[in-house]
Amino acid sequence: MARIKKEYPWVPLKQEDLDGKFDMVRIFGRTGPFHIEIGSGRGTFLLNQAQAHPGDNFLGIEWASRYYRYTVDKIGRWDISNVRLIRTEAASFIADFIPDNSVDCFHIYFPDPWPKKSHRKRRFICNSNLTNMIRCLKESGQIRVATDHEEYFEQMKSVFALSQDKLEEIDFLPTAGAETGEWVGTNFERKYLKEQRSIYTIALKKKSTIDF
């Protein structure tokens, strides 16, 4: 019998409670490095990374209700105080709520590749979303991506190349929860590695002088 999942009241966020913009001090009660994971899935990355970096603040954005509820329950049970979760559409939320020069890192691990040609316009990595992420990044802030989908990865690199005046590629270092042979240690990565799929990664850093 499946365990009943709880909604710990301090973990979830609602857009209507944000009063226009994401205020880190009001939400976390402190300043500090700020990370956003787009598509938090079952919360494995958030749990491990937040435990390894207790001085950092983490926001997970997840649209799928079952994954959102699962992760809220997981973060609450582990009593991780530096993580918040919001169930919303990531592109519009970042565009409307995340302030300029406020994010230290965007983490995008195994996003939906929307493999059908007619669905590719739904992919998260696109010019408009990248422009918003760059706006939100602090100087030297990072975008880190991992995927098992080679064609989507090639498209991502093409999108990133259009912003090479604003971003520079850096080494992709494994996350806190990654085990030997892994990059990020998420449930999806472990599933795909068992299926002997290749994993593609890229990390980029915001250059120091950018005018919007």
Instruction: Provide the annotated active-site residues.
Output: 112
Rounded distance, CA 158 to CA 140, Å?
Answer: 21
Burial 29-66 (b: 16+ CB within 10 A, else e): eeeeebbbbbbbbbbbbbbbbbeeeeebbbbbbbbeee
Burial 154-192 (b: 16+ CB within 10 A, else e): ebbeeebeebeebbeeeebeebebbeeebbbbbebbeeb
**Coil/strand/helix, residue 15:** helix
Rounded distance, CA 152 to CA 100, Å?
Answer: 28
